[in-house]
């Protein structure tokens, strides 16, 4: 088996395991040591490309198959998706190579090589004559063409209109930038840019965060001296802006209530000049070493990682609290295209219940006059403004919404609406979709 075939087999293995709920990103990272840079890039393209276009691929296959793809076994189903993705989307892969390698994979896995070979050859012959769906139902049409679950498409069409919804859905199928946040304790953005470029990276400054750098290409993060020396941390631009909204000061006592892997805790420590106390709380004990390792690499001493549940933690009181709440993650689907296939509208209500408990509990730990930022990486009102409205109408009568614009760079102020809520969706598809609200507890 050639190396390209091994790469395809690894991509197939990852696609198969994502159907069981395993995150593609974790599996891709685990497979990296087995392959060189070129093969890893090919595997990434195959996995994420297939996941981003899964509904469209299934529609094409179902048009030409005697039985629905979902009714075949998982290995065969994913071999077919992988093959048709290469035929329709990868110009550098000859169609016959996609058909032949898929057939070979089917011989070893699934045992339906005749079915796979015949169906993919039919796709190859018909690929220039497909009449893609153009039904009068925008929910059905966009769900197929952009490969998003129909329930989410219908929500966005109702909320934003058909044209805007299509733009957002297609943006979700683009590649997310690799963004670094400068460690201001050690360097400046200008110095970091020069260091990255000197080691072969191509970069550009972010438009809204004063610390952000998009790394457009590089020899690989682990090989960069700037990474090993803790001069930056990978963090999306929107997440960087959320931390700025909290405005911690040197000497403050701060709670980062849902902290792993520690990106925001590190940013807060940098803003505090590494003076004060930050409790980095996370409910998964296995993720605590990750926070500790990141702080060590960044040269930060004031962050104390702690395993605990934000909905029940009561050990201290704080000047500042950041709640980056567990959520549906619908604002980061372009980074995790497999996630769209494991969510439903029930996901929103389930997360909302937990978000309410966390906000209610953590608010009691905030000292009078202190500030709390509630944030999510989701797009839906149930997890965002509805949680804030519920809180203010029930146990949060001592709190008021505080306008975060004075604490953000001028160019980012326009991402705050008339209610004082920060949103990087749908206004900025170049960033992840984040929501943020800054609350202040009134003085007694």
Mean pLDDT of 105-113: 92
Sequence-distant (≥ 6) Cβ neighbours of residue 103 within 8 angstroms: 113, 116, 117, 120
pLDDT beyond 80 at 379: yes
CATH topology of domain 237-441: Rossmann fold (3.40.50)
Mean pLDDT of 325-354: 94
pLDDT beyond 80 at 130: no
pLDDT beyond 60 at 1: no
pLDDT beyond 90 at 231: yes
Greatest mean pLDDT among 128-132, 135-139, 231-235 lies in 231-235
Q: What pLDDT, on the 0 to 100 scale, is given for residue 129?
A: 81
Selected residue with higher pLDDT from 222 and 124:
124
What is the residue-averaged pLDDT of the chain? 94
Q: What pLDDT, on the 0 to 100 scale, is given for residue 133?
A: 75
Q: What pLDDT, on the 0 to 100 scale, is given for residue 444?
A: 61
pLDDT beyond 90 at 136: no
CATH topology of domain 179-234: Alpha-Beta Plaits (3.30.70)
Q: pTM for this one?
A: 0.93
Mean pLDDT of 3-28: 91
**Phi, psi of 315, deg, nearest 5:** -80, -25
Give CA–CA dist 55/144, Å, rounded.
5
DSSP summary character for residue 330: G
Name the residue ranges covered by the structural domains of the chain.
3-126, 139-172, 179-234, 237-441
What is the rounded end-to-end Cα distance, in angstroms, of the chain?
72
Q: Can 258 be counted among the known catalytic residues?
A: no
Q: What pLDDT, on the 0 to 100 scale, is given for residue 332?
A: 95
Q: What pLDDT, on the 0 to 100 scale, is given for residue 426?
A: 74
pLDDT beyond 60 at 216: yes
Angle at 279 between CA 278 and CA 281, to 5 degrees: 140
pLDDT beyond 60 at 3: no
Mean pLDDT of 21-39: 91
Q: What pLDDT, on the 0 to 100 scale, is given for residue 4?
A: 61
Mean pLDDT of 321-343: 95
Selected residue with higher pLDDT from 1 and 343:
343
Architecture of domain 3-126: Orthogonal Bundle (1.10)
Angle of helix 113-126 relative to helix 54-64, nearest 10 degrees, comes to 100
Here the contacts of 5-10 (C-beta below 8 Å, separation 24 or greater) are 5/101, 5/104, 6/35, 6/39, 7/35, 7/39, 7/42, 7/43, 7/46, 8/46, 8/82, 8/101, 8/105, 9/105, 10/34, 10/35, 10/43
Mean pLDDT of 251-274: 97
DSSP summary character for residue 176: P
pLDDT, tens digit, 9 for 90 and up, residues 382-419: 999 999 999 999 988 899 999 999 999 999 999 999 99
Mean pLDDT of 233-262: 97
Selected residue with higher pLDDT from 361 and 136:
361
Q: What pLDDT, on the 0 to 100 scale, is given for residue 205?
A: 96
pLDDT beyond 60 at 2: no
Number of DSSP helices (H) and strands (E) in the chain, helices first: 17, 12
Give CA–CA dist 87/120, Å, rounded.
8
């Amino acid at each position: 088996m050639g190396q390209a075939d091994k790469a395809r087999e690894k991509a197939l293995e990852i696609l198969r395991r994502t159907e069981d709920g395993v995150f593609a990103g974790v599996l891709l990272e685990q497979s990296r040591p087995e392959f060189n840079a070129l093969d890893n890039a090919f595997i990434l393209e195959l996995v994420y490309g297939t996941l981003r276009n899964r509904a469209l691929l299934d529609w094409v296959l179902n048009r030409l198959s005697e039985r629905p793809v979902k009714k075949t076994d998982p290995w065969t189903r994913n071999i077919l998706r992988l093959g048709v993705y290469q035929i329709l989307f990868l110009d550098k892969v000859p169609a016959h190579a996609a058909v032949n390698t898929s057939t070979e994979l089917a011989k070893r896995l699934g045992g339906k090589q005749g079915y796979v070979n015949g169906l993919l050859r039919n796709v190859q012959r018909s690929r220039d004559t497909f009449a893609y769906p153009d039904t009068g139902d925008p929910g059905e049409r966009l769900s197929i063409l952009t490969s998003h679950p129909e329930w989410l498409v219908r929500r966005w069409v109702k909320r934003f209109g058909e044209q805007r919804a299509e733009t957002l859905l297609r943006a979700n199928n683009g590649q997310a930038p690799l963004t670094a946040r400068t460690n201001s304790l050690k360097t400046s953005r200008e110095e970091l840019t020069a260091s990255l470029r000197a080691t072969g990276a191509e970069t550009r400054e972010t438009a809204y965060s004063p610390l952000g750098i998009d790394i457009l290409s590089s020899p690989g993060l682990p090989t960069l001296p700037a990474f090993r020396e803790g001069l930056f941390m990978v963090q999306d631009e929107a997440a960087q802006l959320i931390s700025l909204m909290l405005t911690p000061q040197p000497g403050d006592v701060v709670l980062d209530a849902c902290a792993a892997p520690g990106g925001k805790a590190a940013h807060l420590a940098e803003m505090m000049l590494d003076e004060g106390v930050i409790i980095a709380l996370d409910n998964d004990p296995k993720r605590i070493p990750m926070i500790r390792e990141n702080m060590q690499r960044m040269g930060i001493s004031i962050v104390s990682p702690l395993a605990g549940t934000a909905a029940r933690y009561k050990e201290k009181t704080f000047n500042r609290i950041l709640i980056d709440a567990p959520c549906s993650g619908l604002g980061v689907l372009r980074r995790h295209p497999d996630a769209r296939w494991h969510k439903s509208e029930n996901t929103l209500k389930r997360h909302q219940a937990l978000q309410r408990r966390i906000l209610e509990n953590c608010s009691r730990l905030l000292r009078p006059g202190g500030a709390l930022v509630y944030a999510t990486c989701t797009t839906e009102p149930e997890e965002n403004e509805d949680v804030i409205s519920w809180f203010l109408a029930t146990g949060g009568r001592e709190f008021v919404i505080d306008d975060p614009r004075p604490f953000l760079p001028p160019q980012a102020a326009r991402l705050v609406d008339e209610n004082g809520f920060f949103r990087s969706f749908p206004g900025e598809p170049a960033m992840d979709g984040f929501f943020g609200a800054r609350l202040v507890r009134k003085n007694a």
